[in-house]
Amino acid sequence: MTSTRTDGGTTGGDGGLDGAVVAVAGAAGPAGQAALLRLAEAGATVVAADADAERLAQAVDAARFAHGGATVTGDTVDLLDLAATREWVARTEKEFGRIDGLVHLVGDWRGSAHFAETDLGDWDVLHNLLIRTVQHTSLAFQGALERSGNGRFLLISAAGASNPTAGNAAYSASKAAAEAWTLALADAFRKTGGESPPPAAAAILVVKALVNDQMRKERPNAKFKTFTDVRDLADAIAGTWNQPTEEVNGQRLWLTPQP
């Protein structure tokens, strides 16, 4: 497995996640950058992974500089490689002693103007990006998140998963499959807990679309009314640790009006 790593120092954060270790998968995109910063601000040690080494290094550096002293590490990991994903978990647990969260942010979009024009090649791409990486991260992280005692597995899904539009068949079906997979993990956490609260919670945060500062800069007149700002998504991610596992496990948390 190829792996590069850069580490920062530690001075603690503004509480909430002090002492926690949170892994972010697909961390180099705009949502990842916001999540790294927010989790570091909350006091977590943040362990970021992405397949794109250059963009990942930029995201990790940005979070470190914006929150001086936070421990934010970056590992180049191809999450389509199950063995590499498991190695990432083992390495992280060995180095930091625990893992309290996996935030899944791997994404992309493919679609067409009309249903009849759907390119089944898009399905293959989205199957890998949106489903396979969820399968690998959930299988690799389940044990560590249960050992945490207060673990979180968080999927970011799209409102279209439960309300598909004609040109989004492959995208919506992929997200719906990822949601079902996440809910199966939630049931596994419930079963591990038995009569007690689950030792970890798997949950789905639902948005219609995401917006970031770069998008606002490029389209200054656009209102992005139905979009969720990546900072609000990051707040919602960090906020899931404020509720007990039994209240979060198996839930869809809507950050956009539910269709």
Ligand X SMILES: NC(=O)c1ccc[n+]([C@@H]2O[C@H](COP(=O)([O-])OP(=O)(O)OC[C@H]3O[C@@H](n4cnc5c(N)ncnc54)[C@H](O)[C@@H]3O)[C@@H](O)[C@H]2O)c1
**48 contributes a contact to ligand X by CB under 6 A:** no
Among 42, 210, 236, 237, binds ligand X (CB under 6 A): 210
Query: Considering the complex, what minimum distance in angstroms separates the CB of residue 155 from ligand X?
Result: 7
Residue 226, helix vs strand vs coil: coil
Are 5 and 202 in contact, with CB atoms under 8 Å apart? no
Among 42, 60, 106, 204, binds ligand X (CB under 6 A): 106
* One-character DSSP codes across 171-210: HHHHHHHHHHHHHHHHHHHHHHHTTSPPSEEEEEEEES-E
**40 contributes a contact to ligand X by CB under 6 A:** no
Query: Considering the complex, what minimum distance in angstroms separates the CB of residue 149 from ligand X?
Result: 26
* Window contacting ligand X (CB under 6 A); options: 117-125, 180-188, 202-210, 237-245: 202-210
CA distances from 162 to 81, 129, 143, 247 (A): 29, 19, 29, 22
DSSP symbol at 166:
G
**36 contributes a contact to ligand X by CB under 6 A:** no
Report how many residues bind ligand X under the rule CB under 6 A.
25
Q: Is the dihedral of CA 255, 141, 107, 133 positive or negative?
A: negative
Interface ranges with ligand X (CB under 6 A): 26, 28-32, 50-52, 55, 77-80, 105-108, 129, 133, 156, 158, 207, 209-210
